[in-house]
A and B are shown apart, each in its own frame.
Chain A
Amino acid sequence: MKYECYKLFVKRKAWLLLLVFTALRLLTAFLQTNYASDYRMELYRDAYFRHMEVLEGRLTEEKAAYIEAENALIRELTGENSEDFIGCYIRGEITEDEFNERYRLRTTGYERKDAFAVINDRYRSVSQNPERVYFLYSNGWTGLFGNEHLDFVLLILVMLLTVPMICDEFSTGMYPLLRTAPNGGARLYAAKAGTAVLTAMLSAMLFFAAEAGFYAAVLGLPDGSFPLQSLPPFEQSPYPVSILGAAALTLLNRFIGVTFLTLALLCLSALTKRALSAVFLGTAGILLPYILFAKSSLKYLLPTPLGFLLSCGWLKGSFPVSPNAQEILTVTPAQYRTVLLVSAGLTAGLFLLGMLAFTGFSLPRIRRKGAAALCLLCLLLTGCGKAPASEPDLTGLVYDKWQYRPESEAFSVIRDEETGSFLSYPDSGGQVPLIHDCFTDTADLRRGSLPYIDGDTVYYVNQYSMFHMEIIALDTRDFSERCVYRAYWSDNLDRPEMLFGLGMYLPSKKPQEERTDAYFVHHGQLVLSKPQGIFRIDLRTGDECCIHAGKTENLAATCGYLYYLDELLDLYRCDLKTNVSEKLPVGKIRHFYAAADGLYCRSLKEDAYYFVPPDGSQKKPVPDFDGDAFLKGELT
């Protein structure tokens, strides 16, 4: 056996394979960390860890009180009474700084609510079983051994190390020599089996250790002494073990799995005497049950290595097939013991069968050992060159979402709820449908969006679903269309569609926040208002920049500047040439309207309208200002 180890590690350089595959395993672990088990913990990581400083561990009365107090604070910050501070400011009971502070608190109240939601969800489980379920940051442990992903890297490594141990003896013609040697035959087979099993176990341990190191460094593996049920995937586990104990059991299961797999591969190698056949049968024996029984507990209950290689399911008890799935799988300790015994028997049987086949009377076939070097398929994506940017012409820029009427010198856009949207040509008096799509029931603009006219181009929003939108540019000269902006967003985890329904095994994408609330276009500049802030995209070059980060309201443009209210109701203006924003000294504003020479602002405190010039240098009261009339264009 010593010599078999020497052959494997020195002659065949298995140590190099181990290193390469360990690196590969770390790479796959790195790719999977982006899809952590509970993305909310990562999204609000700082807030979550702040709470964990108090809550980590077993539930106590003090911790329950802390949770109740935090929930009460969140209700206070985000509830109806949160509006009172606006009235206080109007009545002069609080200063502007106090107003800002309270407004910020209300905004952060919603963020606190989102960040605390994961704690509240865990609190429900913890309070039902306080003896076994503790508060714990679980993403690291769950990533290490909480998911049911098959370790293909380990599978391929075991096959590459194990199968040639037997098959190469036949292919090189050594087998007849070995049969005649005193220690050939059964002893040699046992030595090879021992070497292969030890190497496979070493691989499994190396992979596990590397992953543990990786997760410890990236996500953290705290509090291994806590009960296993503290990890969300293992809430229903019937085993009274700690997390570290469960990790050790998982590793033990993997040892059993790779032992089973190794001996099965050796047996297949001895029976078929061909590397290809053995690898194919081994792959099919693992892959087919993995696919066929994806939503069934049979993948654990069948006496194959698959259940042990997946390993974590044995410890889970009852668990959903996949996140958000309805189907529940149940695997009991009794079933585990039965499968373990049957698998042990089967493993012993395979070992004996392999030994018999190796020492049997099959005729050796002389094969020449070959060498292999092959190329990999590469796919390249090419990008498009970008046109050089020129300075955008912002003269005459007057756009306000509230008062904008889509018209130019040549045409205007008329929207009718029943008949659709039309381009109206005042010179000829004619009307042309804006959209000529044959395949939609109501070929009309979606989401009540305002189309914007920029020269000869009309920009409108075309939304295909609740989670998808496109901004289309329609050239009114020849009515050709192109998509200038596309965004997707989702509220739930999203899995890709894949052949054979295997998408359920792929990690889910986190919800994307790309929703766009408002936009306008002028001279090739697309300005978008999203929950994350205001962004500007140069449609000619594709360059994107952030004008303001954070929630904004009341986006409008006039006199060459972009004006908006931030979440504290302060008025900002942004120079679209330099993207520099400055706060205007006009106080808190409820909302404003953009006019050709300035802004009409409704003050929060006085609840009255003022005219403000573009630089906000002064405020001139406009007591008789009528917003509705202004919107209709009836005011001069």
Chain B
Amino acid sequence: MRQIIGYELRKLFRNRLVLFMLALFSVLNLYQIYGDYRKYAGSEKSWRDGYFAVYDEISGPWDNEKIRYVLAEYEKAKAAVSSGNYSTEPDQPGTHTGYVFGDWGLFEQIKDDMERMYHYGKTMAALTQKAADNAVFYEEKGNPALAKQNRLIAETYRNRSVAAFYDTLGISRYLKYDFSTLLILMLLIPLLSPLFAREHESGMHALLRLTPDFRKLPYAKLAACCTGIALVCLFFFTEDFLAFRYFYHIRGLSQPVWTLPDYFYTPLSCTVGGCLLLQAALKLLGFLVIGCVCTAFSAAAKHELIPFCCTFAVALVLVLTDAFAGSTVLSVLNPVTMLRNEALFRDFKTVSVFGRPVFSFRLPVLAALTEWLMLAGLTLAAGRLPARQRRTRHEI
């Protein structure tokens, strides 16, 4: 069985077109990441250098000296800007970014980030206390569902604090980056469309049915499909991470995820690195679902163009539905939600399941898992069907 899986994998990837597109897409991906970096980390080199130099200096565990330094630099820049007596020429002496106005913007941003992180523990302690009080209140009022929800809030946000300060721009941009998702989607559809269909098209299906291992073949193909998807995802996710790490000087992977600005109220209790892995895993799940849509079409079709067109159409419909559905049942069932999962973990949202509060992000994950298994089953069922005999038309 392992041999068959290996052979199917080789069949998938020993395709000059696929390898060429993989190389091209990886170059395009790097180009897009670099464009993202130029857009969000400042278009001027002096600004970017100053930005990273300042963060190198002040990052790390809380230190009163660093806080005083930031406040002093902020006040100095603010005073210079307020007075109006400053030059807008580049490479100003005594500045970090090369511009007085740039320094003011930079230190204002750092000050706001520092305040948010520094007071986080206190904010969460107050929130936890309020949730505990609410739990008691709702118990008295005979509302066990809301009481349980508030107990869950108290439990989730208990003992949270931020022990160190660091630059979160790189991680935030990485979490929002989704161009590689498009590239993976565009690569997977032609990669997987011929998986079953080519056997029918080439007439090999009838021969394979005579082999002793034919029954294992659909399983092997499916396993190869999932492995292929995982390999492609691993390739692009690794490239993304390395590129972002290089350009944005990513730090703080071992810091708690709630240190990120968009994740202030996240219910997750993992590190930033753990969150990145979770995001990658959910994207992989989304791709597995769409990949199995493709293989299901491929197993039912006799021409490899059909699953390509159908999967492309389905993917387009799913992406459009995701844009317009909002927070409805459609968004729970849509596998594209897994591909755009950055927003899933930002806020505390629950749904009541048999009177118990369940985090709402679990629903689309469960739905995606179920869809994957169902589509895999469909693929296996279609893949084991006998080849239909059709009269071949020869046209002159």
Q: Is A480 an interface residue when CB atoms closer than 8 A count as contact?
A: yes
Interchain CA distance A284-B319 in the complex, whole Å: 17
Chain A residues with CB under 8 A of B390: 368, 370-371
A292 touches B32 (CB 8 A): yes
Interchain CA distance A370-B150 in the complex, whole Å: 59
Q: Which residue of B lies closest to A496 (CB)?
A: B323
A438 touches B322 (CB 8 A): no
Given contacts A172-B394, A279-B305, A498-B322, contact A439 B201 (CB under 8 A): no
Given contacts A367-B201, A368-B202, A479-B138, contact A439 B348 (CB under 8 A): yes
Contact with A along B133-144 (1 / 0, CB 8 A): 010011001110
- Name B17's contact: one of A281, A369, A370, A438 (CB within 8 Å): A281
Chain B residues with CB under 8 A of A272: 17
CB distance from B49 to the nearest CB of A (A): 26
Q: Is B339 an interface residue when CB atoms closer than 8 A count as contact?
A: yes
Q: Is A432 an interface residue when CB atoms closer than 8 A count as contact?
A: yes
Given contacts A174-B396, A284-B186, A500-B181, contact A374 B137 (CB under 8 A): no
Q: Is A506 an interface residue when CB atoms closer than 8 A count as contact?
A: yes
Q: Is A545 an interface residue when CB atoms closer than 8 A count as contact?
A: no
Given contacts A292-B32, A500-B178, contact A477 B137 (CB under 8 A): no
Q: Which residue of A lies closest to B153 (CB)?
A: A438
B339 touches A292 (CB 8 A): no
Interchain CA distance A432-B324 in the complex, whole Å: 39
Interchain CA distance A503-B307 in the complex, whole Å: 26
Given contacts A276-B193, A479-B146, contact A499 B141 (CB under 8 A): no
Q: Is A521 an interface residue when CB atoms closer than 8 A count as contact?
A: no
Q: Is A2 an interface residue when CB atoms closer than 8 A count as contact?
A: no
Q: Which residue of A lies closest to B142 (CB)?
A: A478
Q: Is B329 an interface residue when CB atoms closer than 8 A count as contact?
A: yes
Interchain CA distance A168-B304 in the complex, whole Å: 12
B143 touches A478 (CB 8 A): yes
Q: Which residue of A lies closest to B189 (CB)?
A: A280
A479 touches B143 (CB 8 A): yes
B330 touches A277 (CB 8 A): no
CB distance from A610 to the nearest CB of B (A): 47
A280 touches B17 (CB 8 A): yes
Chain B residues with CB under 8 A of A370: 197, 200-201, 301-303, 306, 390
Interchain CA distance A480-B142 in the complex, whole Å: 10
A368 touches B190 (CB 8 A): no
Chain B residues with CB under 8 A of A11: 395
Contact with A along B150-173 (1 / 0, CB 8 A): 100100000000000000000000
Contact with A along B259-281 (1 / 0, CB 8 A): 00000010000000000000000
A499 touches B297 (CB 8 A): no
CB-contacts of A359-385 with B (<8 A): 365-372, 374, 376-377, 379, 381
Contact with B along A411-450 (1 / 0, CB 8 A): 0000000000000000000001000101100000000000
Q: Is B175 an interface residue when CB atoms closer than 8 A count as contact?
A: no
Q: Is A62 an interface residue when CB atoms closer than 8 A count as contact?
A: no
Q: Is B127 an interface residue when CB atoms closer than 8 A count as contact?
A: yes
Find the residue from B17, B202, B265, B305 having the highest chain A CB count within 10 A.
B305
B329 touches A280 (CB 8 A): no
Q: Which residue of B lies closest to A288 (CB)?
A: B28
Chain B residues with CB under 8 A of A496: 323-324
- Name B137's contact: one of A177, A281, A371, A436 (CB within 8 Å): A436
Stretch at the interface among B60-68, B106-114, B208-216, B308-316: B308-316
Q: Is B194 an interface residue when CB atoms closer than 8 A count as contact?
A: yes
Interchain CA distance A284-B141 in the complex, whole Å: 60
A379 touches B330 (CB 8 A): yes
CB distance from B133 to the nearest CB of A (A): 9
B305 touches A368 (CB 8 A): no
- Name B306's contact: one of A292, A369, A374, A502 (CB within 8 Å): A374
CB distance from B340 to the nearest CB of A (A): 6
B17 touches A368 (CB 8 A): no
Q: Is A173 an interface residue when CB atoms closer than 8 A count as contact?
A: yes
Q: Which residue of A lies closest to B130 (CB)?
A: A438
CB-contacts of A156-191 with B (<8 A): 156, 160, 163, 168, 171-174, 177
Q: Is A209 an interface residue when CB atoms closer than 8 A count as contact?
A: no
Interchain CA distance A42-B137 in the complex, whole Å: 54
Q: Is A126 an interface residue when CB atoms closer than 8 A count as contact?
A: no
Q: Which residue of B lies closest to A11 (CB)?
A: B395
Q: Is A275 an interface residue when CB atoms closer than 8 A count as contact?
A: yes
B138 touches A478 (CB 8 A): yes
Q: Is A61 an interface residue when CB atoms closer than 8 A count as contact?
A: no
- Name A477's contact: one of B141, B200, B313 (CB within 8 Å): B141
A499 touches B182 (CB 8 A): yes
Interchain CA distance A368-B336 in the complex, whole Å: 35
- Name B319's contact: one of A160, A177, A372, A499 (CB within 8 Å): A499
B179 touches A500 (CB 8 A): yes
A280 touches B308 (CB 8 A): yes
Chain B residues with CB under 8 A of A7: 395
Q: Which residue of A lies closest to B194 (CB)?
A: A276
Interchain CA distance A172-B300 in the complex, whole Å: 20
Q: Which residue of B lies closest to A365 (CB)?
A: B202
- Name A174's contact: one of B134, B193, B394 (CB within 8 Å): B394
CB distance from B144 to the nearest CB of A (A): 9
Given contacts A276-B305, A438-B134, A478-B142, contact A499 B336 (CB under 8 A): yes
CB distance from B96 to the nearest CB of A (A): 27
Interchain CA distance A496-B197 in the complex, whole Å: 37
Q: Which residue of B lies closest to A379 (CB)?
A: B330
Contact with B along A254-288 (1 / 0, CB 8 A): 00000000000000000010111101110110011
Q: Is A497 an interface residue when CB atoms closer than 8 A count as contact?
A: yes
- Name A171's contact: one of B201, B306, B312 (CB within 8 Å): B201
Q: Is A342 an interface residue when CB atoms closer than 8 A count as contact?
A: no
Interchain CA distance A326-B301 in the complex, whole Å: 47
Chain A residues with CB under 8 A of B313: 376
Chain B residues with CB under 8 A of A379: 321, 330, 333
Q: Which residue of A lies closest to B318 (CB)?
A: A377
Q: Is B90 an interface residue when CB atoms closer than 8 A count as contact?
A: no
Find the residue from B143, B303, B322 having the highest chain A CB count within 10 A.
B303
B303 touches A371 (CB 8 A): yes
CB distance from B127 to the nearest CB of A (A): 5
CB distance from B148 to the nearest CB of A (A): 13
Q: Which residue of B lies closest to A439 (CB)?
A: B265
Find the residue from B17, B138, B200, B312 having the highest chain A CB count within 10 A.
B17
10 closest Cβ pairs, A-B complex? A370-B302, A372-B306, A478-B143, A498-B323, A370-B303, A280-B190, A496-B323, A275-B305, A276-B304, A500-B182
A–B complex contacts, Cβ < 8 Å, 25 sampled: A172-B393, A172-B395, A279-B309, A280-B189, A288-B28, A368-B201, A369-B201, A370-B201, A371-B388, A372-B303, A374-B297, A374-B301, A374-B306, A374-B310, A436-B134, A438-B127, A438-B130, A438-B131, A438-B153, A478-B146, A479-B137, A496-B323, A499-B181, A500-B178, A503-B323
A residues with CB within 8 A of B: 7, 11, 156, 160, 163, 168, 171-174, 177, 272, 274-277, 279-281, 283-284, 287-288, 291-292, 365-372, 374, 376-377, 379, 381, 432, 436, 438-439, 477-480, 496-500, 502-503, 506
Besides A438-B150, A480-B143, 12 other A-B contacts (C-beta < 8 A): A172-B395, A280-B17, A283-B312, A292-B31, A368-B203, A370-B302, A436-B130, A436-B146, A498-B320, A499-B182, A499-B319, A502-B319
